[in-house]
Structure 1
Amino acid sequence: MVIGNGMIARRFSSLAHNDEVILFASGVSNSKETRSEPFVRERKLVEHWLHQARGRLFVYFSTCSVNDPTERNSPYVAHKLALESLIAERADRYLICPASNVVGGTGNPNTVLNYFMARCRSGEYFDVWQGATRNLIDVDDLYQVVMQLIEEPVFHNQVINVAYPVSISPLQIVQGIERFTGRPAHYRLIDKGHPFRIIASECAAILESFGKLIDPECYLNALLHTYYQWAFEPCLV
């Protein structure tokens, strides 16, 4: 069973009629959210489906931002950590997957790549944090990794990060978009952000078993070619 209708939920549609798994993919989508209502809604929905689980594997997507010094005190991260604890306490079987920045065919303007692409194409000035790192993972790779984690009971009742093995700087992302589109971006480099490490050894081993090249700039280029061909259309902004 899949709870949700967004990009991740749609990608896991193969589990829609699986009675052994409840995959929860209906969380707060904006990591900058500060209103209490979306957080309360997600918590109530998680509590409802935990009650329905009754021995089934409960799969929950959390966030790797818990490792980011600039985000770890945010309402979003506090909310995700609280739900991780709730699930670990109440679920008979669970798999908590903190995910990095998932890339796919979504119109959500809050995703990292969508944000940078929109500004690069519109020509507006924007800030690029020199000290930060970002981690991008293809929704198809997320799917492959999580499906393998689901199928292997040794991974159950754990919190396992699902992220690309190597992170990338925001400046590298912007420069990759410039090369991809052939258009210069207008940005200001500012002295903000902190690099942080995401430990994702299980994810790295699974990706390598699928023959994924561990090179973040090549990976970024592949993501752009897969999901952003529309970027060559005239920008109407």
Structure 2
Amino acid sequence: MVIGSGMIAQRFSDYHANDNVVIFASGVSNSKETRSEPYARERQLVETTLAQAGERLFVYFSTGSINDPTEQGSAYVAHKLAMEELISSRAIHYLIVRASNVVGGPGNPHTILNYFWERIQQDEPFTIWQYATRNLIDLDDLYEAVTHCITNPARWNQLVVIANPYSVSPLQIVEAIEMHTNRKARYELIAKGLPFSFDTYIHDLIPINDADWQPHPYLLRLLRKYYL
């Protein structure tokens, strides 16, 4: 069973016919959301789905933003933490996935890569937080890592972090888009943001070739794959 219709739900569509797993990939997609109604809707859907899940593995996608010091106290992070607690206390079998910034192509305007891509495509000015870091992970890499956990019951009933071994600065992302599109971005660097890291990375779940994850080639590969 797959709950949701967005990018992650579509990538996990092969689980629709799986009677042993519930993929919960529906909820608030904008981490800057401040209204209470979207969060209440997700909580209600989580509670309803948990009640129906029985002994099936309940897979919930949380967020790597919980590690971001600039997001501490935000409504989005508070909600995700509450959902993690709800699921871990009620589900018979669960897997909570804290994923970093998932990249799967244009669509959600609230993701950092899509935001920069659209500003550059439209030749619109924007700001870059000089001291921030972001961690980008390919949707297909997320799928492989989560599938590894689903098929290994020793990974169940715990929280897993799925993140790229290398974080990047927003400026690196913009420069990669400039190279990919041969367009010059119109931005202003501002003295904001804080770097942050994760306790574990994707290489704790699946074998990787370190050279494939280096920031420059990985960024360009994402752009060539999803942004024509």
Is the structural similarity TM-score above 0.5?
A: yes
Cross-structure match for 2:176 = 176
Q: 2:204, 2:179 → 1: CA distance?
A: 30
Q: 8 Å contact 1:100–1:162 — kept in the other structure?
A: yes
Q: 1:151, 1:47 → 2: CA distance?
A: 25
Measured after TM superposition, the shift of residue 200 of structure 1 is 2.4
Q: 1:45, 1:210 → 2: CA distance?
A: 39
Secondary structure of residue in 2 paired with 1:208: coil
Q: 8 Å contact 1:9–1:26 — kept in the other structure?
A: yes
Q: 1:124, 1:180 → 2: CA distance?
A: 17
Cross-structure match for 1:215 = 214
Of all paired residues, the percent bearing the same amino acid is 58
Q: 8 Å contact 1:24–1:59 — kept in the other structure?
A: yes
Check 1:102–1:212 CA distance in 2 against 1; reply closer, same or farther (3 A cut).
farther
Q: Deviations over 1:132-180 (max 9, x none)?
A: 0001111111111100011011111111011111110000000111111
Cross-structure match for 2:23 = 23
Scaled by the length of structure 1, the TM-score of the pair is: 0.93
Measured after TM superposition, the shift of residue 206 of structure 1 is 3.6
Q: 8 Å contact 1:164–1:200 — kept in the other structure?
A: no
Give me the CA root mean square deviation: 1.3
Q: Which amino acid aligns with 1:116?
A: F
Q: Which aligned pairs between 1:183-194 and structure 2 lie closer than 5 A?
A: 183-194=183-194
Q: 8 Å contact 1:103–1:136 — kept in the other structure?
A: yes
Q: Which aligned pairs between 1:11-160 and structure 2 lie closer than 5 A?
A: 11-160=11-160
Measured after TM superposition, the shift of residue 211 of structure 1 is 7.7
Which 4+ stretches in 1 moved above 4 angstroms? 209-212
Q: 1:95, 1:208 → 2: CA distance?
A: 20
Q: Deviations over 1:164-223 (max 9, x none)?
A: 11110000000111111111111000000000001224x223443478712022111000
Q: 8 Å contact 1:117–1:177 — kept in the other structure?
A: yes
Cross-structure match for 1:204 = 203
Scaled by the length of structure 2, the TM-score of the pair is: 0.97
Cross-structure match for 2:223 = 224
Q: Which amino acid aligns with 1:215?
A: Q
Secondary structure of residue in 2 paired with 1:23: strand
Secondary structure of residue in 1 paired with 2:80: helix
Is there any run of 5+ residues in structure 2 with no aligned partner, and where? none
Q: 8 Å contact 2:148–2:206 — kept in the other structure?
A: no
Q: 8 Å contact 1:141–1:207 — kept in the other structure?
A: no
Q: Which amino acid aligns with 1:221?
A: L
Aligned residues: 228
Cross-structure match for 1:233 = none
Q: 2:58, 2:125 → 1: CA distance?
A: 43
Q: Deviations over 1:63-107 (max 9, x none)?
A: 010110101210000000000000000000100001111111341
Q: 8 Å contact 1:96–1:160 — kept in the other structure?
A: yes
Q: 8 Å contact 1:161–1:200 — kept in the other structure?
A: yes
Q: 1:98, 1:140 → 2: CA distance?
A: 16
Q: 8 Å contact 1:130–1:191 — kept in the other structure?
A: yes
Q: Which amino acid aligns with 2:120?
A: C
